[in-house]
Chains A and B, each alone.
Chain A
Amino acid sequence: MNIYSCFDLNTADNFCQRLIKLSRKYADFRKALTDTRLHEIICLYIYSLETFTLDVQTLQDMARQIRLDDLKTVYRAKAGHIGGEMSAIDILTTLYFHTLNIDPTQPNKPTRDRFILSKGHTACALYTTLAHRGFIELDELSTFLQPHSRLNGHPNRNKVPGVETNTGALGHGLPIGIGMAKAAQLSGEGWRVFVLCGDGELQEGSNWEAAMAAAHFKLDNLTLIVDHNRLQQGARVHDTNALAPIADKFAAFGWATTAVDGHDIAQLREAFDKRSATAGQPTCIVANTFKGQGISFMQDKVEWHHKVPNKEQYEQAVEELQAAM
């Protein structure tokens, strides 16, 4: 399976004509053509079609590619938060390649959908996703964590196009998301706001201040996705400060709630497509995930929160991810 098998190529002529037309619009096309990076050309083309929807298989392939590139980037930098990155990548892929109304050529377009990575320590997964989506160059991933790289260990809005707010301290994303959703409500605009937080992150009290306000303000344009991998830095969430039942807590705070398999892109796509289950209610999607998803020896292991694979582990991980592609 490859990225362009999903692409409706009626005829080669048709494709070329469209490509030429678009190349006038996007300088990136011409650059990509000279680089003969067909993969990127096709991707750019696909995303330029407003009505185009990637099928689940293509999204899965993209998620695998992002996993692989994230792994390579962390291995090269010798730092990162690989466990939580692997748990979030299917969510990020579905958002950036299916759900979000965004345009890499206009990252600050006023009516864009907003996404906040509240679990900012998984910045590498965001950068890798943004690179595949065309916000930054894929080559730039090699600068991750290097001196003066704009790809800091936590995302920076003022440096990286596509980042909405500077996260890193936990429990900050949801309040900001409420402000963004409230701004849309006040302006009568239709943009949606998605916040991705960790489950352990919900131990921060600011989230619950925000949870009350979101329901009170009837922000049905706001979706909180909880990356429920059940592990936090030091131990299992359950053994640290048990949060269960997460969905029931949000329901009690006045939210519409749903639970999905956070690695099932079909489920994620369907859950994200719904503006809200109930008009006037914000939505909390509890995405059941595994830390280290996709790499057997990392999966569901506390120690892989921010451990870096050694050479043998790296090679095995690459092999496993490539085998799945």
Chain B
Amino acid sequence: MDHSALLAAGVDVLSREARYIDERQWDDWLGLYLEDAEFWAPAWRDDDTLTDDVNREISLFYFESRGGLEDRVWRIRSGQAPALTPMPRTAHHVTNALLEDGATAGAMTLHSAWSCHVYSLRDKSQHVFFGRYQHDLVYADSDWRIKRKKIVLMNDYIPGMIDVFCV
């Protein structure tokens, strides 16, 4: 596959992920992730540096397998979490995708910018979270799947609630 075909395949995964979350197709969303996929959003250590050791430092989200995301989806569906009842609406925008050198027909890494508009029906407030993504994708079972996703949240001054569907 040439560079543009790989990039197009990667962007397709990014766009599908955004759509699945915004349209609450949770099983499809989880299906994009390999079972052993890592999902990581480091916290900020100070104004200029992010935490980088998941075992010794705090992350906003760190799941070493898809099980962490599945817990979150269970919670969304439970209807028992005040913060998720009613469920906030979101719209993700993922842009500026760049393919890292060394991509093959079997594995690639994409870097992109994202923003997520969150509308809380509870108090009619809205907020935009934004930052950058790194997606490590592998070709498995005749589709591209997410092996690892790293999320950098630039505005980490958080109005009361943030969850995996807001980033």
Tell whether A and B belong to one assembly. no
